[in-house]
């Protein structure tokens, strides 16, 4: 079979490409078609473990929406930012040090053959491939080295939708300007404009959509209303800082949003648990009144720990813990909670920890990337509800963590609550550190901690498909894959 390809492009980052791609995957899969997602290059510190290594979280969710097994061909190139001018390069699921050390523009020639091969294989094996672009296709400074937007569209002869976030303003200018900056052969691939995050009466947009079509020949095929709780996490970062809760707030969870935060998508279920308010914390004031403080994963643990101290958040976390408040560290957050970070290989950096757990982390050249099934041992204090609870998740880390021998000998022990060095609890019972990502995506953990559950992914995916079927112009979604 040779797939028909639909591609979702955006006028900007955050326009809505990822969730619309996910919705299209479920829409076409629900029609009985064999569907696969694809994104040639993803820049994100949100990653998932799949067959063959790791891919961006967005493609992982898109694959599940497509009712397909997630795999590395769906996101052949993943860039994980470690600093403003440096990223770890993951090619076909595996870290590639040579590419990581190569200048940005020099990578294209080296990676395009693998990208094209992965796309060709997916096209040969599926009825539909839904492709996501990155950023904007009209970044004219990057056009010559493009491997993720129009080069992919041309290779796949994809029918493209161009999405703009109308809530930010300037949507018609963004759409027209993006179209106008594309070469003529690439403009021909744009089959529809999509206005996303619209609030109000859509009839008030007239005559702008028709004027835009007169200028470009491209119709506006959907005006999508603002939808705060579609159920998917933001792909690249904390775009939506609004804090909400279903019903009366009974627990506030403050997640520290340091600059290189990773795998923040694992906290999405907390937004949907009744009575739980999720807040992103960048200053001590953001932690005031929180019941829990969570230190999430980090792609640059030592640098984010330095940022934490600069912001005064180290003192806020320590004061919260000293008062008996619950503190949870996940992966990089666990490493921060220890006594020290030791890096003899130049992977992340050396640093003193926060000292809330008697642990030391050493960074290893070998990266741990795996799915993990485990069971909590006996916990006490605020985390006692997890005692004996089975949990499934994933690990992505260079650090290897163990108790500090001198502290253990002195009686300042941490309780190991997950086997194989995956989790520890302090003596007081209120500080917990784990290497396991995805805890809050496990219904057993949510039930134990909150006595509640969040909507299943199947419910979310079906809701996304229903939403676009309602708001796209009749027949458009079928026309996109017509022969």
Q: Which residues are catalytic?
A: 331, 437
What residues contact residue 375 under an 8 Å CB cut-off, 6+ apart?
A: 388, 389, 390, 391, 418
CA distance 408 to 385: 26
Q: Are 481 and 7 in contact (CB under 8 A)?
A: no
Classify strands 423-425 and 415-418 as parallel, antiparallel or unpaired. antiparallel
Q: Give residue 274's region: left, alpha or beta (phi > 0; psi -120 to 50).
A: beta
Alpha-helical segments (H) within 197-247: 208-216
| Element spanning 348, H or E | none
Is residue 74 within 8 A of residue 122, CB to CB? The reply is yes
Angle CA 275–278–284, to nearest 5: 125
What gap in Å lies between CA 342 and CA 107, rounded to an integer? Answer: 31
User: d(Cα 325, Cα 411) in Å, to the nearest integer?
Assistant: 23
Instruction: Please state, in angstroms and rounded to a whole number, the distance separating the CA atoms of residues 120 and 114.
Output: 10
Helices 17-29 and 457-471: crossing angle in degrees, nearest 10, is 90
Sign of CA dihedral 354, 360, 366, 372: negative
Strands (E), 33-140: 35-38, 41-43, 47-50, 53-56, 77-83, 86-91, 94-95, 128-132
Containing H/E element for 112? helix 108-125
Say whether 474 sits in a helix, a strand or coil: coil
Element (H, E) at 186: helix 184-187
Q: Which residue has the tokens 């009744």?
A: 274
Instruction: Locate 228 and state its tokens.
Output: 């705060």
- H-type alpha helices, 312-355: 313-322, 332-337
């Amino acid at each position: 079979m040779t797939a028909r390809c639909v591609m979702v492009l955006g006028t900007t980052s955050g326009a809505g490409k990822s969730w619309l791609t996910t919705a299209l995957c479920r829409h076409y899969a629900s029609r009985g078609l064999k569907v696969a997602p694809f994104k040639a290059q993803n820049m994100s510190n949100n990653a998932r473990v799949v067959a063959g290594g790791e891919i961006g979280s967005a493609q992982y969710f898109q694959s599940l929406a497509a009712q397909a097994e997630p795999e590395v061909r769906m996101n052949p190139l993943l860039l994980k930012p470690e600093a403003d001018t440096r990223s770890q390069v993951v090619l076909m699921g595996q870290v590639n040090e040579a590419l990581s050390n190569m200048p940005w523009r020099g990578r294209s020639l080296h990676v395009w053959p693998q990208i094209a091969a992965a796309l060709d294989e997916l096209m040969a094996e599926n009825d539909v491939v839904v492709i996501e672009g990155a950023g904007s296709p009209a970044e004219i400074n990057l056009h010559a080295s493009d491997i993720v937007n129009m080069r992919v569209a041309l290779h796949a002869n994809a029918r493209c939708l161009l999405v703009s976030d109308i809530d930010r303003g300037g949507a018609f200018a963004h759409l027209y300007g993006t179209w106008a900056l594309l070469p003529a052969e690439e403009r021909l691939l744009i089959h529809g404009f999509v206005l996303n995050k619209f609030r109000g009466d859509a009839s008030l947009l007239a005559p702008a959509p028709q004027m835009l079509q007169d200028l470009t020949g491209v119709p506006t095929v959907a005006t999508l209303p603002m939808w705060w709780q579609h159920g998917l996490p933001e792909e690249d970062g904390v775009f939506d800082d609004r804090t909400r809760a279903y019903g009366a707030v009974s627990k506030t969870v403050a997640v520290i949003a340091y600059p290189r935060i990773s795998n923040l998508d694992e906290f999405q279920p907390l937004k949907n648990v009744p009575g739980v308010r999720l807040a992103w914390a960048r200053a001590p004031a953001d932690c005031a009144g929180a019941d829990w403080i969570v230190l999430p994963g980090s792609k640059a643990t030592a640098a984010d720990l330095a940022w934490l101290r600069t912001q005064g958040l180290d003192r806020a976390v320590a004061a919260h813990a000293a008062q008996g408040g619950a503190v949870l560290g996940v992966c990089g957050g666990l490493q921060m909670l220890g006594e020290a970070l030791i890096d003899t290989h130049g992977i992340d950096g050396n640093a003193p920890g926060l000292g809330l757990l008697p642990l030391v982390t050493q960074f290893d050249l070998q990266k741990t990337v795996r799915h993990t099934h485990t069971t909590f041992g006996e916990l006490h204090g605020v985390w006692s509800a997890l005692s004996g609870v089975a949990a499934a998740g994933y690990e992505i880390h260079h650090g290897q963590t163990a108790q500090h021998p001198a502290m253990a000998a002195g009686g300042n022990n941490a309780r190991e609550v997950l086997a194989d060095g995956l989790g520890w609890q302090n003596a007081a019972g209120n500080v917990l550190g784990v290497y396991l990502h995805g805890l809050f995506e496990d219904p057993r953990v949510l039930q134990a901690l909150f006595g509640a559950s969040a909507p299943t992914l199947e419910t979310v995916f079906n809701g996304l498909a229903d939403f676009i079927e309602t708001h796209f112009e009749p027949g458009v979604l079928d026309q996109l894959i017509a022969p």
